[in-house]
Structures are given as C-alpha cells and as structure tokens.
Structure 1
Amino acid sequence: MNRMGVTGLPVVKVVRAILIFSLFTSPAQARDNTATVGQADKKPVSANIIKTEIFAKPGHFGNPKISPDGERVVYRQQLGGKPYLTAARLYSDTKKRIAIPDNVDLLWYRWAGNHKILFSVSAVVDTSRGQRRHTGLYVTDVNSGASITLGRKTQGYDGDNVLYVDPTGTYILLSMQRSIYDYPAVYRIELENNEITRVIRRQSQIWTWIADNSGVVRMGLSQIGGTLKIHYRRAAGEKFRQIGKIKEKDDLEEALLDISHIVSEADEGYVLSNKKTGRFALYKFNYLTREVGEMVFGHDENDITGFNLNDSGTALESVYFTDSRDRIKWFDADLAEHQRKLDKALPGQEAWIQSKSRDGKRMIVYVTSSTDPGSYYLYEPELKKLAWFASLNDKLDTEKLARTEYVKYDARDGTTIPAYLTLPKNRPAENLPLVILPHGGPFGVRDTLDYNTEAQFLANRGYAVLQPNYRGSDSYGEAFYKKGSGEIGRAMQDDLDDGMDWLVGRGMVDPDRVCIVGGSYGGYAALWGVTRNPERYRCAASFAGVTDWDKQLSYDGRFLRSRYEREWQDEIRGDEEFDLDTVSPARLVAQLERPILLAHGKKDSTVPFSQFKFYRSELEKAGKDAEYIVYESEGHGFSDSENEKDWLDKLEAFLNRHNPAY
C-alpha cells in the first residue's frame, strides 16, 4: 500500500507490525515515533508465490471502535487461539482484555458510554424441537474489569435486540421475549447490575419495536396474515395507536420495513423506500400520515442500503450504498470535508471513517482496496494528523497481488449478472483454469471490490477467479432481488454456470478445468454445483456450507430473510409445493460424481456443525469421494490464523489433485 501524505494532512507512520501499537504508549514516546511522510503460461517462479502463512491473517486484529470521549479504542483480536476484545487507552500502555466465553461466536460489540463495552454472542442450543440458534448480551466495565450477562434468566432465542444505548452507559433498552411462546416486550436494563424494568408491555402480534435516538420507543410493527400494522406515538407520555394497515402487496410494504432510525421528538423523518423507482432510495417521511415525501438521495442503478442520523438523532448525517464498491454520502458538511481530505491523502484506496469520538476530534479510519486487506488510522483533524497504527496483514507484498475487475455478463434468461473477476498476474488470459467463488447469504449480501483472501490466494496460485453477484444479491433493486426469490438451487445456480460459459466464450477459461469453492451459502452452491452439474465442475470445496435446507431453516428461520420478504418460505420455496430436498446436497448424495472437500467449525452457530455431520454420514454410507476437515475451535469463519492456513493449504492441495493450475 502506498502511504502518501498531502500538504496540511500528513500521514504519520507509527508502526509496521500488527499488534505492536505505538499509539498505545506514553505521549512522549508517541511524539518520538512521529515522522511526516512526503509523498506466458508457465508456472510462476517461487519468488512470485506468496506463502500461505502470509495470506492467513496474522493476529486476526480488526474492527477498532473509538470511545465517545476519544480516549480509548476497543478492537477484536486473537491470542493463543482464543478470541478477545481488547480496550486500549490511546497514547498509553494501559490495556484491558475481555475473554469471549467458550463455545460462542462473537457477533458485534460497541461502546456504552466511555467505560463500558457491550457485546453480543451467539451459540447453538439443544431444545426439545432440535438445535436452535440463541443470542445473548454481555457488558464489561473496562475500569473495574467486571463483566455481567444481561437479560432474563429465561427468555426467547433472541437476547441481543438492543433498541437504544444510553450515552452515559447507564442503561440499554432491550426488546425481549419472556419465552419462545411470547411476544417481545421492551425492558430497561441497568448496565451496572442487570436490574430489569419493563417499559413497554408485550402486545399481541407486535414483533418489532423501534426507538428514537433519545431512548423513546416510538413504533411497533405487527403482522397478521399478509397485513402489516403500524402502531405509533410521538412522545413517551402518549399511548400507541394504530395508524395504518399495509397489505402484503401494498407499495409501502418494503419502505415500512426499513424505518431503522426515527428522528427524535418529531413526526417527520426519513425512510428507505423503493416505491417510486423499484430501487431503495432515501425519502422524507411522515410517520403519522405514512406519507412518502421528496427524495433526499437515490442512485440510478443500486439501492441505498442504509442511513445514519447524527448522535442526537435530530439530523441526517450520511447515507451509504454500493455500486462497484462501497460508498458513503455525507450530509454533515464537516464530515464531508474530512472525507475529501482523506480521499486526497490516500489515492486509489477506499477510506472509511469507521468510528469517531462524540466531539469529532478523533476518528478511526479504515483504508482498503482489492489488493490491500486494510489498515487502520487514527485521524485527528485539529492536529492535521493521520496516524497509521495497525494493518490487517502488513506482510503481504501487494505488488504480487492481482487487480480485481468489476464485470457484467448475461445469464441465459437475459438477466444481467454483475461479478468480480480476478486474473492471475503474469499469465495470458487464455484457457485459464477457473474457480467460481460464490458469496454467502444469499440474500442481503453481495461481493464488492474489497480485498478477498481466497480470491487473491487462488489467483496467486494461477487460477482465474469469478465472484458472481447472482440474482437475489443485495443492493441491485427489487426486480433483481425478485428474480432470485424462490430460486435457490435453480436460477441462482444457473447464474454461476452462465458466468463460466461467458468466460469460456471469451476464450479466457478452459471449460474442462473448472471447480467451485465457497463458504456458508457459497459452500452450499459449491456442493450443489457438482451434484447438479458434474459435467461442468471437476470438484467442489465447501467451508460451513448448508447441506440440508429443511434442517437449516428449522434451526434458524431467519437465515434467508431480507429487506424484501418477512417469511423465509418466499425466499427459498417460491412455489409452496416445492420440495426442499430436491435442492439439498445431503438428500441427493447418490447423484454426486465429483470429489468434494468438506470443512466446518464445531462452534458454528450460523450453520450448525450438525449440517456437516449429517452430510458426512450420508456421503460415507454412499461411499463417495470426499475429504473432511473439522476445526474444533472455529465458528462461522476463521479466528485462528493457523486454522486459516490449514484450510488454504488443504484447499490448494485438493485443487492440485483435481484441477491443477498448470
């Protein structure tokens, strides 16, 4: 990565080794370390091959968030094979490490005031109805080190639906069921001692509660049959009243599902609606009359995926969307100017203001590109200083990585499919071996121009890599989404096959040298690809892939939900009579003719390990050609770099046996 500064905004090189933070030392030491920076188809020689251990992320540091007062940063890291949250005081050697409980996945974390860290985890629980996914909350005081569990002793499966966090860190508002058979109520939970007070009683059929930025619960959404009902109040002292019914096919259905932020103490605010264009855009909105007003911001081709209000909840701060890459539009003039300066200081990169102190004097900036896994900077605008304090993988020689290109091709039914193509460096783009790398999800997710470890690893080994944003992928509008609804294992899979045909037709790929690799839903697509079309694919590799849809959706009915559909049946079945077994690899092992590599983490709470076990059992009974990898300490992804290295090594060896690059 080229770290260059511009006049008035110096880039300060603080450290070149991950987890060695010069920013987390004394002020005198930090001043000493500050310095302003100015400005043919043959197997590749070994010097161009990047070692697997370098691709595997060292330390797994990531996602730092600055405290409201700007004095501390909390970040995720891996130490000794165990996950931690580490809170470090800037320009000091003071650190507090929070051990994540065993046998859970860390979902998210954030500051609650200046001294407390709130974090969510998920786990697999055994019930009389089979395995289910359960989420829960913890809070840690970084001053005392005390941690407590938040919520009721008995409650529903969702224990992390936080509606509001008090800026002083005194309490939160949590939407929570008393049991799995109950509707959720809203509770105030004291972060000091988990004292619980109900503030909104449960109401029949209301499953979703929404609060504004001042901590007032303003709206409840209920659904009976195909009708969505809206219950609304303007202020805390008022009673909720039903203000409207939206039938399932009403134009406003999607808009109402995207009222994620309510302007404090006002009936006027904003909503994401696709009513007028078929793509989500940001409009002014009257909560009381349900009237959609003028468009505030939209895009000609892509959905607006979200928006933020300022800290007080009184004004629009930003909207974000993705075209070929992720983008943000700032409505706050100061933040827009900061973004302009960052973009100028870091040309050719994506610079994201990831978090900021409440006074805006300190910000965490994340910088990345398709050939850079990313670095974090501390930006102090008043000091005109941009200090690089950590890299996700500083050992990578970015000159050896391949550029990723945003491309489009036509599927067999004429639908245009966006995709990302990464070609190996120093090799003619003719008759290349291909790996198709579908993303997870499948709904509400898409690939972008961000750095992708597997894509770069495979390209470095000599493969062309195609990442299709198949129909149903996020941010391409309602028409594109609906073409994917009910098409899992069918038209969605056709889009992957058609991407292969497009590259073959251009002479870039050898049709006899194609494999498919993926994780989560992408792992399912890989397994289904070789099961459905063995004539196309020589092999498949899956990490954490779904193998049986009935079992997965019984475990977590929300797995396939998106902003467009409230019921997963609409997402996968399409036709109510459709048999999920006909698109489930575990139910059709007799059809499998190609070798597969099957890997899974035992602690996975998104796609449970039972999906792996059931498929392995069926494969072994049928005597199929399969290799198995079990990662005892991993969840729905890699947190240990040794395990990630092992996966990449075994993936490379598997491909070398069944689809060698040279």
Structure 2
Amino acid sequence: MRRLILAAVCAASAAVPAAAQDAAATAHAFGAREYIRQISLSPDGRRVAIVIPVGPRGTGVMVADPIAGGGAKTILRTPGTDGEQVTDCHWATANRIVCEVAINRPGVGVRNMVFSRLIALDADGRNQKQVTARQSYRALGVAQFGGDVIDWTGDGKGGILMARSYVPEQTIGTRLASSAEGLGVERVDVTTLRRSNVEYANADAVEYLTDGNGHVRIVGTRRSNSAGYDGNVISYSYRKAAGGGWQPLGKLTLGDGYGTGFNPVAIDRALDAVYGFEAKDGRQALYRVKLDGSMARELVLDHEGVDVDGLIRIGRQRRVVGASYATERRETVYFDKELERLSATLGKALPGKPIVGIVDASDGERQLLIFAGSDDDPGRYYLYDKATRAMVEVLPARPELEGVTLATMTPVRVPAADGTAIPGYLTLPHGSTGKGLPAIVMPHGGPGSRDEWGFDWWAQYFAARGFAVLQPNFRGSAGYGAGWFQKNGFQSWRTAIGDVNDAGRWLLGQGIAAPGKLAIVGWSYGGYAALQSAALDPDLFKAIVAVAPVTDLETLRAESLGFTNYPHVDRFIGRGAHVRQGSPARNAAAIRAPVLLFHGDIDVNVGVAESRLMAKALREAGRPVDYVEYKGLDHQLDDGEVRAAMLERSDAFLRRALGL
C-alpha cells in the first residue's frame, strides 16, 4: 500500500499520549483545521481534488495523483481574511473542476449574510472562469447564492445542470428588461460558459431533482404570503421519463418539530422511482415511489428505535446504493450487493477503522474513493480499484494528530429523573481508571441534531487533557423520532436541559466525576444548554464554557426579521412564558458558576449580539464572566490559531475554576 506523502503537512511522530505533551502543543494539534475538508475523484479515477486549509483562515484546492505517488499541486487559494472560503469542489470533466466560493458579508438588520459563487478551472489551475451568471447593473435585486449543480452529466461533454436564482431587470427608457424571477435550471458548458434554459424561472420553486443523466424530473414549490415570507408547505410535482406536463407527487408540511409528508431526495433512473423520507410510527423511514404514473409506493427501510436519515449515493450520476441510521453506532444498509460485500471486506482489511464509507466514484464506478476511521482515529482516505483490488492511501484527515494516542468513545445509557434512559457517549482519558476525574458534560448543537460515535476533535482534546467527557443525546435531539424531539430543545427546554443536568448527576453518582470537579461545555445550542443548565440547578456545574451560544430567544427570533424564513423560525421558537424562562440572558442572576464565552463577530447562525448581551447581563448581576470575541470569524471559528487559543484558554479556565 503506497501513501501520498506531503512532507509539509504529514510529518509523523512517535506515538505518545496527548496528555504527555505540553498544553500549547496539545491545543495546536487538536485545534488545527481538518486537512481534508472535502475531496472528490476525477471521472477517469486517477486524480483527486481536495479542499484544504491554507494558513490560519484561508482555503485552497489541491490536485493530487495518488497512483503516481506524487504530483500534488495547490491550484487555487483564498486568504480567508475577508470571509472568503472555498467550500466544495467537484470534477465536471477529467480536466475541469467546478468549485463553490462562499463570502461572508454584512447583511440586513442584525445578521451577516453568506453569498456564494461558482467558478471553473483546469486541473492545473489555469483558465479560471466564473460559472455563476454575472448580474447586470439593471438587476432589481441581488442574487445571494451563485447556484447549485444538480447534475454533473448534463450533456456528457462537460455540461452541467445548475439551479440558479433569476433576478428581474429593468432600465427606464429602454426595452432592456427581464421579468424572469425565481429558481430555474440552466445547462452550462464549464469550458465555454455557453448556457441554455432547461427549466424557466419559477417564483415559487425551491428545489429541482434530476435523474443524474441530465433530465429534471421533480420540482418543489412553496407559496409565499402577502408579506413575502415563506409558506410552510412544499408541494412536489414530477414528470414522466417520456416527458410531458407536471403531475402531483405529494406535499411536505414544515412544523416546529418534525415535518409531515413525503420529502423526495433522489431519483433512481433505472427503477424510474424516487427515494424520499416520511414518518412511520413516529420515526423517519425511507420510501420509494414510482414515477411512471402509477405512484406505486414501497417501504424500503425503517427502524423501530431511530430515524432512517441517511441516503448513500455515489458516482457522477449520484446513484443510490444504500441508506443508513444511527443507533449506538451508524449502520449502513447497502442495496447494492457488490458494495455490501466490498464494505465488509474493507472493514476487515482496515483493522481498527470500523467506519468505512464510499465518498466518490469514477465514471462506471471502476475506482472508488474510500474513507475509513473510528472514534480514536480521525480517519484517512484511500483510492480503491475494483479490477485490480489494489488500494492506495491518499491522505490522513488530520495529519497533526498522526502518532497521538487518542481516547475511545463508549456508548452509555444515563437515567433521567423520570426514569427515561438517555443515550450518550462517554470518552475517558486514555489509560485512566475512569474514576475520580475532572469531568465535562458536553451537550451538542442544533438543537435539531445529535451526537454520534466517531472521532470528535473537541471531546478528544479535553480527554487528552485528563477530563472525562459525556455527550448526552437529550430529549430534544434529532434522530430518535418525533416523540423524542418533542417540541424542540427551545420550546421543550425544561426536559432537554433536565436531561443534560441528569447526565452530570450520573457522572457524579458513578464516581466518574470527582466531587466539585464537574463542568459543562457547549457550542451553539450546546452553549445555550450550558448556560441554561443553571436555571434548573445553579450548584451542579462549577464552571461553564459556551461557544457561540444562543442566550435570548427573542433576540434569536429578531435575527430572522427581514428574511423569508422568519415564520419558520418564529414557529420553531414559539410564544409564551418559555421564551423568558428559557433565555439564559434573562436569568443571569441564577448562574453561580464562572462563565467563559467565545463568539465570532460575523456569525450568521447565532448573532454575536447574543454573547455580548449575556456578558453584559452576567456583569450586571455581579457574576464572574470572561468574554472573548474574534473579529472576522463565523459560527465555526474556522481559524487554526484561534481554535488552539480557545482550547488552551478553556483548559486553563476549567482547571482554575475546578481547583485542578
């Protein structure tokens, strides 16, 4: 097995426990941004395009030839200093790559906005062109997003199908105007930039699905109200393979929790059917519906305890080959028997890496791009050739952690106060007895999310520094059905935060956490949960770290004013006493533990005003608080130096607060 070695980033070191390294070195190793941020395989199966970090905040695109064992070249760079990042790259032809560049800019009201544009370039970096249609000075508005590639085989010759937003144009005193408005589809040649309409702009359209071979088969439409806000019902229509007019497929109603109705996701051209998700017995299941006019419906996969929430698609046609769900670990069910056998074989051939997934495939699926990793291995990528059965290693996902001994993650069940078993994951420091440790409860973000078994850089860092880390999937988490999700983690905050606090009590009761050595750490909704935990039990946690937290539900609601999704956000947060009672900034006096806050000032997920408000409220209540604000960073604090500093400062804060 050969390995593509990039000396600048992959220098290996002897395996030593991370806790044995000094604090600064450990923080830098874990705070480093993931080296392979996104990766794709060329149609001929020989080269990969990788989105990589460049410097503390920048991004780049690197093209490498794993089979030849070298030739890696960075063909595009963005400095990241002005909020510009490459987010995604895919091969349109064997020599032409299309990349999305996102730009964070000041927006309306209290929110920043992210804009995006698509560019195309050759595999050597030459011949760069903007694929996104350039706006005329006559445009009556701004196209925020530069388009989404919905089909990579629009004509088989480098033409793609791209869904894009049209903005009407007008010039006084001339006939130079366009009334086209809304989402449409066009075919674009990524070399010549010739473009032609496939689906004319539709003001109500929100989504188009193709069969992976250049034909649009499904459209989703949503009516807006008189004020221009989005409705809560998406109506889906389909057309037959032979063409013709649109026919009704179904409706998806968006609620304050799980939606209801059929949500189409991917079309299988060979079966002339669409795969989609819909509730069954209170949990999400995968269905298949025929598009031949019969509307014949088939249950493909469900699970009695969790949502089926993943669809496995590979190759340039995005062929559906399986589905997945997460119990204690994520399980994949392959519909393709050859890939099922291959997955089992690779799982045995790569000992210690039980997470094996197919990332991409060449034309004809002769070569496969594989990821393999585990809880104590950040993972690495391989190129596999079906004909020769040879596998070549491409790169590790996190070279800075090469040779570092990491902790294992164990699924656990934590009893809540009402007897409900709360699933979660316990990560103990490598080599520890698991008793009498400083400990952290780490609630996840979302709240419509969940933690899963696998590598987690944040939890692993604290374990490396000697902390036990418990990540509970409290009620209000996604993945376990509508009953578990309840009304979401804001409207049902008492239950969600109660479960989080019960996780802390369990750590103490089991003797895992030493008395007086329990803290809570969270990011986004997790930061909200960390702060709000004191509203139910001010004496439980002795230190609180919150990164980019929601702190006031009315402020969160106001952040969406002026945006079309405001009604959805409004419904999700809800109205009533829970808004005041469930807002940490309005209950700052209840917090007794010292608080450390971090936030980026161009956060588009949770406005920086939330942490500023929280810090102000804590100070006015006479509570100890440290607040660190980072200029020019978004919700993810996507800067290796900043993340390292955040980790090191958090560790020092926790040690001081817990008396370590």
Counterpart of 1:83 in structure 2 is 59
Counterpart pick for 1:417 among 422, 430, 438: 422
The amino acid across from 1:98 in the alignment is: L
Deviation sequence 1:362-411 (CA, Å, 0-9, x none): 32222211111112222233333222232234454767432210011232
Deviation sequence 1:71-102 (CA, Å, 0-9, x none): 32111222333221222244252524212363
Q: How many angstroms apart in 1 are the aligned matches of 2:475 and 2:561?
A: 21
Q: Are positions 1:51 and 2:51 aligned together?
A: no
Counterpart of 2:97 in structure 1 is 117
> Using a 3 Å threshold, how does the CA distance of structure 1 residues 556 and 415 change in structure 2: closer, same or farther?
farther
Counterpart of 2:114 in structure 1 is 134
> Using a 3 Å threshold, how does the CA distance of structure 1 residues 243 and 367 change in structure 2: closer, same or farther?
closer
Q: How many angstroms apart in 2 are the aligned matches of 1:234 and 1:511?
A: 66
Deviation sequence 1:214-249 (CA, Å, 0-9, x none): 233322334466655333322484222445567789
Deviation sequence 1:508-553 (CA, Å, 0-9, x none): 3345322111222222222322455322121211222233334444
Counterpart of 1:4 in structure 2 is none
Contact 2:560 2:569 in 1 (8 A): no
Counterpart of 1:359 in structure 2 is 364
> Using a 3 Å threshold, how does the CA distance of structure 1 residues 557 and 200 change in structure 2: closer, same or farther?
farther
Counterpart of 2:538 in structure 1 is 534
Contact 1:436 1:466 in 2 (8 A): yes
Q: Are positions 1:452 and 2:456 aligned together?
A: yes
**Does the residue aligned with 1:451 lie in a helix, a strand or coil?**
coil
> Using a 3 Å threshold, how does the CA distance of structure 1 residues 636 and 228 change in structure 2: closer, same or farther?
closer
Deviation (angstroms), 1:657: 0.8
Contact 1:89 1:95 in 2 (8 A): no
> Using a 3 Å threshold, how does the CA distance of structure 1 residues 519 and 248 change in structure 2: closer, same or farther?
closer
Counterpart of 2:132 in structure 1 is 150
**Does the residue aligned with 1:93 lie in a helix, a strand or coil?**
strand
**Does the residue aligned with 1:185 lie in a helix, a strand or coil?**
strand
Contact 1:18 1:391 in 2 (8 A): no
Q: Percent identity?
A: 26
Between 402-411 and 172-181, report the one with greater CA deviation.
172-181
Counterpart pick for 1:478 among 463, 479, 482: 482
Deviation (angstroms), 1:160: 4.1
Counterpart of 2:172 in structure 1 is none
Deviation sequence 1:44-78 (CA, Å, 0-9, x none): 99479883333333773443221122132111222
Between 536-545 and 595-604, report the one with greater CA deviation.
595-604
Q: How many angstroms apart in 2 are the aligned matches of 1:70 and 1:302?
A: 36
Counterpart pick for 2:158 among 166, 169, 172: 169
TM-score scaled by structure 1?
A: 0.82
Deviation sequence 1:324-373 (CA, Å, 0-9, x none): 22232222233223212211111231222222212333322222111111
Q: How many angstroms apart in 2 are the aligned matches of 1:135 and 1:488?
A: 33
Q: How many angstroms apart in 2 are the aligned matches of 1:160 and 1:552?
A: 28
Counterpart of 2:437 in structure 1 is 432
**Does the residue aligned with 1:446 lie in a helix, a strand or coil?**
coil
Q: Are positions 1:256 and 2:262 aligned together?
A: yes
> Using a 3 Å threshold, how does the CA distance of structure 1 residues 513 and 292 change in structure 2: closer, same or farther?
farther
Q: Are positions 1:466 and 2:448 aligned together?
A: no
Contact 1:531 1:593 in 2 (8 A): no
**Does the residue aligned with 1:652 lie in a helix, a strand or coil?**
helix
Q: How many angstroms apart in 1 are the aligned matches of 2:376 and 2:306?
A: 24
Structure 2: runs of 5 or more not aligned: 13-17, 136-140, 170-179, 224-230
Deviation sequence 1:238-296 (CA, Å, 0-9, x none): 222445567789xx964522x11123386533332323x33223233134768563332
**Does the residue aligned with 1:490 lie in a helix, a strand or coil?**
helix
The amino acid across from 1:568 in the alignment is: V
Q: How many angstroms apart in 2 are the aligned matches of 1:341 and 1:47?
A: 37
Q: Are positions 1:240 and 2:246 aligned together?
A: yes
Between 449-458 and 330-339, report the one with greater CA deviation.
330-339
Deviation (angstroms), 1:213: 1.6
The amino acid across from 1:432 in the alignment is: L
Contact 2:182 2:204 in 1 (8 A): yes
Contact 1:485 1:571 in 2 (8 A): no
Counterpart of 1:659 in structure 2 is 658
Residues 21-100 of structure 1 aligned to structure 2 (within 5 Å): 46=20, 51-57=26-32, 60-81=35-56, 82-90=58-66, 91=68, 92-93=70-71, 95-100=73-78
Counterpart pick for 2:384 among 379, 388, 407: 379
Contact 1:263 1:314 in 2 (8 A): no
Contact 1:607 1:636 in 2 (8 A): yes
Contact 1:488 1:572 in 2 (8 A): no
Counterpart of 2:526 in structure 1 is 522
Residues 454-603 of structure 1 aligned to structure 2 (within 5 Å): 454-482=458-486, 484=488, 487=491, 489-510=493-514, 512-530=516-534, 533-555=537-559, 567-573=568-574, 576-578=575-577, 580-603=579-602
Q: How many angstroms apart in 1 are the aligned matches of 2:602 and 2:107?
A: 17
Q: How many angstroms apart in 2 are the aligned matches of 1:178 and 1:507?
A: 62
Q: How many angstroms apart in 2 are the aligned matches of 1:289 and 1:588?
A: 57
Q: How many angstroms apart in 2 are the aligned matches of 1:312 and 1:14?
A: 24
Q: Are positions 1:401 and 2:376 aligned together?
A: no
The amino acid across from 1:80 in the alignment is: G
Q: Are positions 1:629 and 2:628 aligned together?
A: yes
Counterpart pick for 2:282 among 255, 278, 283: 278
Counterpart pick for 1:108 among 88, 94, 104: 88
Q: How many angstroms apart in 2 are the aligned matches of 1:542 and 1:314?
A: 39
> Using a 3 Å threshold, how does the CA distance of structure 1 residues 587 and 121 change in structure 2: closer, same or farther?
farther
Counterpart of 1:32 in structure 2 is none
Contact 2:253 2:260 in 1 (8 A): no
> Using a 3 Å threshold, how does the CA distance of structure 1 residues 98 and 551 change in structure 2: closer, same or farther?
farther
Q: How many angstroms apart in 2 are the aligned matches of 1:339 and 1:471?
A: 33
Q: How many angstroms apart in 1 are the aligned matches of 2:318 and 2:651?
A: 52
> Using a 3 Å threshold, how does the CA distance of structure 1 residues 246 and 601 change in structure 2: closer, same or farther?
closer
> Using a 3 Å threshold, how does the CA distance of structure 1 residues 86 and 312 change in structure 2: closer, same or farther?
closer
Contact 2:554 2:579 in 1 (8 A): yes
Deviation (angstroms), 1:467: 0.4
Q: How many angstroms apart in 2 are the aligned matches of 1:170 and 1:597?
A: 51
Contact 1:417 1:470 in 2 (8 A): yes
What root-mean-square deviation, in Å, do the aligned CA atoms of Structure 1 and Structure 2 show? 3.8
Between 380-389 and 468-477, report the one with greater CA deviation.
380-389
Deviation sequence 1:122-145 (CA, Å, 0-9, x none): 444434544243331322312424
Q: How many angstroms apart in 1 are the aligned matches of 2:268 and 2:197?
A: 23
Counterpart of 2:311 in structure 1 is 307
Q: How many angstroms apart in 2 are the aligned matches of 1:283 and 1:458?
A: 41
Counterpart of 1:218 in structure 2 is 217
Deviation (angstroms), 1:421: 0.6
> Using a 3 Å threshold, how does the CA distance of structure 1 residues 130 and 597 change in structure 2: closer, same or farther?
closer
TM-score scaled by structure 2?
A: 0.82
Deviation (angstroms), 1:16: 8.7
Q: How many angstroms apart in 2 are the aligned matches of 1:488 and 1:121?
A: 37
Q: How many angstroms apart in 1 are the aligned matches of 2:537 and 2:402?
A: 38
> Using a 3 Å threshold, how does the CA distance of structure 1 residues 626 and 196 change in structure 2: closer, same or farther?
farther
Deviation sequence 1:408-467 (CA, Å, 0-9, x none): 123234443210011234443334322111112221x22112111222222222221100
Deviation sequence 1:537-581 (CA, Å, 0-9, x none): 21211222233334444445899x9xxx993344332xx435634
Structure 1: runs of 5 or more not aligned: 1-10, 23-43
